[in-house]
Amino acid sequence: MVALGLVLPVAALAQDAGSTVGTALGAALADGGAPVQSADAAAAIPLKAPPEGTPPDGEPVQDADAGAAVPFVAGDGQPAPAEAGDEAPGADAGTAPEAEPEGDAEVGAMADGGTGAAAPAASPEAAPDPLAEAAAKCLAIAGPADAGVPAAAVDAASQKETLARATPFCAVAAEADNADPEVLFHAATIARAGGDAQAMFDLLMRAADAGLGAAETRLGDAFLFGVAPGGQDIKAAVGHYQAAADLNDAAGMTTLALLHQVGQGVPQDAGRMVELLNRAAEQGYHFAQFRLAQVYHRGDGVPGRADAALGIPDRTRALTLYARATEAGNLDAALALSALYADPSFGLSDDPEEQVRLTRIVSRTGFAPAIARMGTFYETGRGVDYSPGIAAGLYVKAMETGDITFEEMRAGAPFGWDNATALEFQKILAARGLYTGALDAIVGPGTAAAARALAAE
């Protein structure tokens, strides 16, 4: 049995390749873009405000009600819901009454002396097929095949845990000659996590031959990022992504769109990019919704960042897509949406409270950029009470994740360091033994070096 590791979507596979195309597309896939600087028409964003008594900003939500309206908050720190198929239906459903004999059966009973003797016992049922049972269990636990990028770290962790429970069933079921293509897909993911790239590839090929779009997408990933046997093959990758798009797989369409955005293996074509992203976004794929929002908002991938024929820019459309991606759990979209309330040029009313509300929801998932942005709110008193101590603590918390640089930490701040916040920041670093300089509220090279050391602790 292979050891189960992390599920590897497209963005994760990019880490396996150091090539130009791998680096370029990896950046395109993972990049949330530069800080959002503009936006437009208002739309109701039905995200529930945190209830009274919730933990401090940046802390995991413990209250079951906190953020219940937001899919990516509801799972925070909570056990994964029971999967369908984990238990057989209860057998004690009552016993049906015996049917009265009729027709020839009744005649036979009478000819037998009218004793009403029971008919001969039915032949025993066929023995259950262990491979079929394993396949049913695999699919009941692992669910539909999905080659998409998880919306958040909590989703990736949930996928890992779910697949761990499905592993013994999927591995057995995949041995069948006529194995379900979704079973083969899950078995391929398990093989990849266990470090067996050849087994992953063989299983995906079987699933793709059976017409599974998600398998075509994963094969495209394998060829694009060089983890397929024989290494990187851009032409083969494009072929598999196109096959996935023909099968209407949202993740495959999105990656093919991004290839058209950067011109890797296909012509750089803004029209084709928008067409594919729209198709994927309409399926509810959060990553396509977020990237399409950036296209309509900032003109990403569009020459000159504007195209009247494509209707770009379109701030109303961008705002709608950011909101949809946020509701689907995309953290980058939620953070981008919150920033729109701070930019009057976008057409939204300046709404610090709404900006804080959206950012707080994201920060409580542990998303470092959101934690840091909450720090800037407390440093400046925007939408919250001014608090240098809380601001400094949030900056430290964001740096400790290792997912944000010192230069990015205060990207949302409108001006230089507030003196009181800088002093509190230095005090925390000194108490941790990382800073030995003067407590002078001057954030220079010494303070910066100490802050960078937080990630290494």
DSSP 119-138: PPPPPPPPPP-HHHHHHHHH
Distances (CA, A) of 175 to 165, 208, 417: 18, 16, 61
Q: So what's the pLDDT on residue 120?
A: 55
Amino acid 257 reads A
Would you say residue 98 has pLDDT above 80?
no
Per-residue pLDDT, 56 = 52
| Contact status, residue 259 vs residue 238, Cβ threshold 8 Å | yes
Angle at 408 between CA 403 and CA 414, to 5 degrees: 145
Instruction: Say which range, 81-85, 154-158, 190-194, has the weakest mean pLDDT.
Output: 81-85
Confidence of residue 156 (pLDDT cuts 50, 70, 90): confident
Q: How many other β-carbons are positioned within 10 Å of the β-carbon of residue 358? A: 26
Q: What are phi and psi of 389, to 5 degrees?
A: -65, -45
Long-range (24+ apart) CB contacts under 8 A made by 19-23 are 19/226, 19/232, 21/224, 21/232, 21/234, 21/264, 21/265, 22/224, 22/225, 22/226, 22/232
Token pair 């074509």 in the structure block, residue: 269
pLDDT digits (tens, 9 = 90+) for 197-229: 999 999 999 999 999 999 999 999 999 999 999
Q: pLDDT grade, residue 412 (50/70/90)? A: confident
- Position 83: which residue type? E
> Which carries the bigger pLDDT value, residue 34 or residue 420?
420
Q: Please tell me the predicted confidence (pLDDT) of residue 344.
A: 73
Contact 274, 261 (CB under 8 A): no
Q: Which two tokens stand for residue 37?
A: 């600087």
CB-based contact 389:424 (threshold 8 Å): yes
Helices 270-282, 250-262: axis angle to 10 degrees equals 160
By 3-state DSSP, what share of the chain in percent is helix, strand and coil, each rounded to 5? 55, 0, 45
In this prediction, residue 101 carries a pLDDT of 41
- Mean pLDDT of the region 6-35: 41
Q: State mean pLDDT over 236-250.
A: 99
If one compares 119 and 270, the residue with the highest pLDDT of the two is 270
Burial class (CB in 10 A: 0-12, 13-18, 19+), 77: middle
Residue 406 pLDDT grade (very low, low, confident, very high; cuts 50, 70, 90): very high
Instruction: Report the C-alpha gap between 121 and 125 in whole angstroms.
Output: 12
- C-beta atoms surrounding 5 within 10 Å: 15
Q: Are 38 and 347 in contact (CB under 8 A)?
A: no
CA distance 220 to 243: 9
Instruction: Quote the DSSP letter at residue 100.
Output: P
What integer pLDDT is reported at residue 366 of this predicted model? 93
The pLDDT value given to residue 57: 55
pLDDT over 70 at 291, yes or no:
yes
Q: Per-residue pLDDT for 92 more than 70? A: no
Q: What is the rounded distance in angstroms from the CA atom of residue 92 to the CA atom of residue 89?
A: 9
In this prediction, residue 413 carries a pLDDT of: 87
Rounded to 5 degrees, φ, ψ at 24 are: -65, -50
Q: For residues 252, 325, 258 and 26, what is the CA-based torsion angle, rounded to 10 degrees?
A: -90
Instruction: Calculate ∠ Cα 214-217-134, nearest 5°.
Output: 35
What percentage of the chain reaches a pLDDT higher than 90? 65
